[in-house]
Structure 1
Amino acid sequence: MKFSQVFLKDKNFIEKIIDFLEIKEGDVFLEVGPGDGEITKEIIKKGAIVIAIEIDYNLFKVLKEKFYLVLNEKLFLFNEDFLKFNINNLSWSKFRFFSNLPYHITHSALFKIIENKEKFSDIHIMVQKEVANKIIKEKNYLSYLINYHFDVKELLVLPPNAFCPKPKVFSSFLRLLPKNNFLEKSLEEKLFSI
């Protein structure tokens, strides 16, 4: 697990996630860490376009082979680090965000999502249950920041055996809906730098 990625393998949970996504034909998803493409495949089957960012070159090659029939039509693949990826360089102006976030980049990825929230109509992410609890149930900097910018709902809790390789922790599938905040960006930055 070079990039601390775990892949959802349980078909029942994959089906539930696809149901929660409520995919419409023509939706454009920005997917971070598609891994082996199991969920990517289901999103494309529903008629959506997927822009997938995969940091692991070996997985990137697997995805290119697996999806060669729809490359640059239904699937646009980037072998890059999401944290360094410039979303503004993409042709689309609005996306739906989906990710089974690698555990080691969760916090940094959340900050990047906040910085680009105007680009996302909704965000669906898989995180460690512990991180979900910090966001939803605890009073801390991350919780205030996320809840200021988004309405957050936990949709599913997934056991370790739903994934391969099997992590040591439970995972949560969250929906974040961007809020329309009234503070100017400079005031927001001051508020959250205190």
Structure 2
Amino acid sequence: MNEPPGLLGPADVRRLADELDLRPTKKLGQNFVHDANTVRRIVELAEVGPADVVLEVGPGLGSLTLGLLGSGAQVIAVEVDSVLATRLPVTVRERAPSAFDRLTVLRADALCLRSQDLPRPPTALVANLPYNVAVPVVLHLLAELPSMGHGLVMVQTEVADRMAARPGSRVYGVPSVKLAWYGRARKVSAVGRSVFWPVPNVDSALVEFERRPPPADIDRRGVFEVVDAAFSQRRKTLRAALAAWAGSADRAAELLVSAGIDPRSRGEQLGVEDFAAIAAKV
């Protein structure tokens, strides 16, 4: 079955890869989506349209880029691979010429991106993120780009579970708490391995994010220091885990009690508001 003009199918992805002599690397987490229905579903779930400026990290060969442009949104595509960054505008001009003026391609590492690097403030993040840097990229962009109010990212299923976990969950940890500082993350859909080339050896999922006001009027960095300390020894009670951060176990217990938290608790039992309460007592 032929794909409608604009979207890439399996044959298109392989042709582009051959043209560029591209050999996808695990180091860059390169697994390219070649299923148009998956692209349509991502764009639909992302709820972006003409009013949005979408930041896409790792556009690769352009499968998702074309879908996002098809929504009417402006797209800022950030690509670390210079060959792919150079080819993407050509692909868009060939397959979606009327949308070409809504595309900006930046050759950059998303982990080093600053707000001043962008031509306009993005309203949304939509991306198929490399598995090895997914959480650091999302956290960095949320901190750096306050205009980014919502998003949808495709990540490894285990990463998705950690991003969306709630207190008390077995996989609740540092990514869960830090994301909760910025808003609410929710795992919305599984993605089959067969929609990628090359086929990855892990399952994927879509995580939706909606920014909300911080849970407390306090410096984020101080809260994140408490979070990092609490989970650095997650088998220990907070009294013990926070000893180095607080200066001693007794001082940690004093701060915890002052914040209304049982020193015998463990990090996975606390919500982001609790960590903010602890940080506020310093």
- In the superposition, the TM-score normalised over structure 1's length comes to 0.90
| More divergent stretch after superposition (74-83 vs 107-116) | 107-116
Q: Which structure has the highest helix share of the two? A: 2
The alignment partner of 2:149 has SS state of strand
Distance of aligned partners of 1:157 and 1:88 in 2 relative to their CA distance in 1, 3 Å threshold: same
**Rg larger for:** 2
**Structure 2 unaligned runs (5+)?**
1-23, 166-170, 227-282
Aligned equivalent of 1:160: 193
Aligned pairs (5 A) from 1:50-129? 50-68=75-93, 69=97, 73-129=101-157
Higher RCO (C-alpha 8 Å, min separation 6)? 1
The equivalent of 1:179 in structure 2 is: 212
**Letter of the aligned partner of 1:77 in structure 2?**
V
Distance in 2 (CA, whole Å) between partners of 1:56 and 1:89 is 17
Check if 1:43 corresponds to 2:88. no
Q: Aligned residues, how many?
A: 193
Q: 1:84-109 deviations in whole A, cap 9, x for unaligned?
A: 12223323234211111111211320
Identity %: 24
1:65-117 CA-to-partner distances (Å, cap 9, x unmatched) read 11244687210011111111222332323421111111121132022023125
Structure richer in strand, relative to its length: 1
Change (3 A) 1:141 1:23: closer
Q: Indicate how the Cα distance of structure 1 residues 156 and 141 shifts in structure 2: closer, same or farther if over 3 A, else same.
A: same
Q: Normalised by the size of structure 2, how large is the TM-score?
A: 0.64
Aligned-residue CA RMSD (Å): 1.9
2:54 matched residue in structure 1: 29
- Of 221, 230, 254, 1:189 maps to 221
- Give SS of 1:73's match: helix
In 2, are the aligned partners of 1:103 and 1:127 still within 8 Å (CA)? yes
Give me the whole-angstrom Cα distance separating, in 2, the residues matched to 1:165 and 1:94. Answer: 30
CA distance in 1, matches of 2:127, 2:86: 19
Q: Tell me what 1:7 maps to.
A: 32
Measure the CA separation in 2 of the matches of 1:62 and 1:100.
18
What CA distance in whole angstroms lies between the structure 1 residues aligned with 2:135 and 2:49?
A: 29
Query: 1:182 Cα deviation (Å)?
Result: 4.5
- The letter for the 2-side match of 1:140 is G
Partner of 2:175: 142
Return closer, same or farther for 1:85/1:110 CA change in 2, 3 Å cut-off. Answer: same
Give the counterpart letter for 2:155 in structure 1.
V
1:45 Cα deviation (Å)? 1.8
Gaps of 5+ in 1: none
